[in-house]
Amino acid sequence: MIGHRLQDDFSDPTLAGTAYSAVPIAGAKRFGIAIRIQCGITENVGVTGLSSVLAKALGQDAPGKTGPLLAAELGALGGFGIVDDGEAITIWGVCSTNPADIQETIQVVLSDLTIKPRIDDAVVQKARWLAMQQKATDANARQVLLQRALRASVAGGSLADVLNPAVDRRIDTARVLAHHAKWFQPSRAAITIMGGFNPKETREVVRRTLSLAGWDERGAAPKQLAAPAATALPAGTVRVTTVGPGPLRILVAAGLRPLSAGLPTLAADILAIHYLTAGRMAPLYALRIPMGRIYDVHGDVTFVNGGYVPFIEVVTADAERDLLISMHTKLRDVIAKAGELRDTDITRVRGSFLRMVAERSTRMPNALIEATQRQQLGLAAWDRDVERLVKGTSREMVIAALKRTEIAVPTVFTTGAGVGIG
């Protein structure tokens, strides 16, 4: 269904500790590569927005090519992008399965953009402006809102600051270059390749590209960032209003599940959330009928530094008080009756989730970026073994996952007009 998946750890010293994962997908018509660098964002106290500016600067230029020409060239191949998600910078490229296109895309992503970027005062000035503009865009992006809201809740930080991160105007070229030199290190990076490719040949192209670019000469690796302790969400409803009118979004989430919980627990948590929210048979789907003005009920897990957070999102135009009472009552009822879950329910949920995974795996770059994030968290085996793990999750494991679901007081925020629903 999903294609043959494997993890391949480099032993070649040229990579100096960089994690590497190969995810071949049978019949895929595209190839993608991503490198994710954990950037010590939480340690840059007093100079906010450094990683955001660096991410924008990397997208402005490459050796010998101006930004527009580079974008046009890669656009012809498939495209490229640079994402700052608040914990790391991910650089990705997508192209056809033509070996020449694959080689060029690997060269641009790993060498031109990651190792040998051309950053000067003009680039930084424009990057700083683009990072400031990104704040407004992020405020209207569903996935950004979810990731940052959950991350802030788990860390106990200010949700408003995370949703609307400041960009320090003192950021200059020297600071950006120092930030790049400090964090763009082999031990901070994870590389994922995905799609249609020859694993052995492509691995050699990656190894040779990094070697010729001097990746192994980056110097001593910085210390690893400490993962946050597992915690429940803070008490009290957090309300954040972003720019412009729009639908009301409410998140109900459990606390952080630590990575030590293991992949079988992750599979059970995901299936429990999927059971609650996915499809017309889902218990929470019934919320749409009595409330009348619910647009969407969505559930999933989001991965953060240190683990993952199961969550439920409800999008509505209704008064949140009535909605929250109804939603919490419904959740409590479902959890109280978890023991009544039938084998046919589990079979249906397993099949529905695996179909969704197969469909998601074709959506690059999203699938590529998410797989690289999991790999950096030490969860590359999830992408390799997801089908086996899901099929091995028993009814009893899903019941246990439902019973340990914590009903946190929701985070409430609104988004600007024009946001896609569903």
Q: What's the one-letter identity of residue 41?
A: I
pLDDT higher than threshold 80 for residue 300: yes
pLDDT higher than threshold 90 for residue 29: no
pLDDT score at 272: 93
Q: What's the one-letter identity of residue 97?
A: T
pLDDT score at 320: 62
What value does the mean pLDDT take over residues 284-297? 66
Most confident of 77-91, 134-148, 169-183, 316-330: 169-183
pLDDT higher than threshold 60 for residue 221: no
Q: Which residue has the higher pLDDT, 106 or 253?
A: 106
Q: Which residue has the higher pLDDT, 43 or 421?
A: 43
Cα distance between residue 155 and residue 230, in whole Å? 9
Question: For the chain, what is the mean pLDDT?
Answer: 76
pLDDT higher than threshold 50 for residue 69: no
Nearest to 51 by CA among 80, 18, 86: 86
The proportion of the chain whose per-residue pLDDT surpasses 90, expressed as a percent, equals: 18
The string of pLDDT tens digits covering residues 356-411 is 888 887 788 888 888 898 888 888 888 888 999 999 999 999 999 988 876 666 66
Q: What is the DSSP letter of 69?
A: H
pLDDT higher than threshold 70 for residue 8: no
In Å, what is the CA distance from 415 to each residue of 146, 151, 241, 296?
11, 18, 7, 14
The string of pLDDT tens digits covering residues 97-142 is 999 989 989 988 998 888 888 888 988 988 888 888 776 566 555 5
The string of pLDDT tens digits covering residues 301-313 is 888 777 888 888 8
pLDDT score at 289: 54
Name the token pair of 319: 């008064």
Which H/E stretch holds residue 249?
Answer: strand 248-253
pLDDT higher than threshold 70 for residue 2: no
pLDDT higher than threshold 70 for residue 175: yes
Pairing of strands 65-66, 61-62: antiparallel
Exposure string for 16-43, b = 16+ CB within 10 A, e = fewer:
bebbbbbbbbeebebbbbbbbbbbbbee
Give one DSSP letter per residue of 354-394, joined into a string: HHHHHHHTTSTTHHHHHHHHHHHTT-HHHHHHHHHHHHT--
Question: How many CB atoms are located within 10 Å of the residue 422 CB?
Answer: 8
pLDDT higher than threshold 60 for residue 6: no
Cα distance between residue 56 and residue 67, in whole Å? 11
Most confident of 100-114, 152-166, 291-305, 307-321: 100-114
Asked whether the beta carbons of 206 and 377 are under 8 A apart, the reply is no
Q: Confidence band (pLDDT; 50, 70, 90) for 234?
A: very low
Helix (H, G, I), strand (E, B) or coil at 286: helix
Nearest to 305 by CA among 408, 255, 374: 374
Rounded to 5 degrees, φ, ψ at 366 are -55, -50
Q: Which residue has the higher pLDDT, 128 or 413?
A: 128
Question: How many CB atoms are located within 10 Å of the residue 239 CB?
Answer: 13
Asked whether the beta carbons of 306 and 291 are under 8 A apart, the reply is no
Global confidence as pTM: 0.79
pLDDT higher than threshold 70 for residue 274: yes
Most confident of 47-51, 114-118, 208-212, 298-302: 208-212
For the chain, domains (ranges, CATH) are 6-217 (3.30.830.10), 238-414 (3.30.830.10)
pLDDT score at 292: 53
pLDDT score at 10: 46
pLDDT score at 47: 67
What value does the mean pLDDT take over residues 7-21? 62
Q: Which residue has the higher pLDDT, 415 or 85?
A: 85
Of 29-33, 176-180, 292-296, 312-316, the poorest mean pLDDT is in 292-296
Question: How many CB atoms are located within 10 Å of the residue 72 CB?
Answer: 11
What value does the mean pLDDT take over residues 14-19? 71
What value does the mean pLDDT take over residues 167-182? 87
pLDDT score at 192: 92
Q: Which residue has the higher pLDDT, 398 or 147?
A: 398
Which H/E stretch holds residue 23?
Answer: strand 19-24
Most confident of 48-52, 72-76, 123-127, 219-223: 123-127
pLDDT higher than threshold 60 for residue 328: yes
Q: Which residue has the higher pLDDT, 328 or 154?
A: 328
Question: How many CB atoms are located within 10 Å of the residue 295 CB?
Answer: 16
299 pairs with which residues across the strands? 312
Nearest to 114 by CA among 165, 188, 47: 188
Of 105-114, 295-304, 411-420, the poorest mean pLDDT is in 411-420
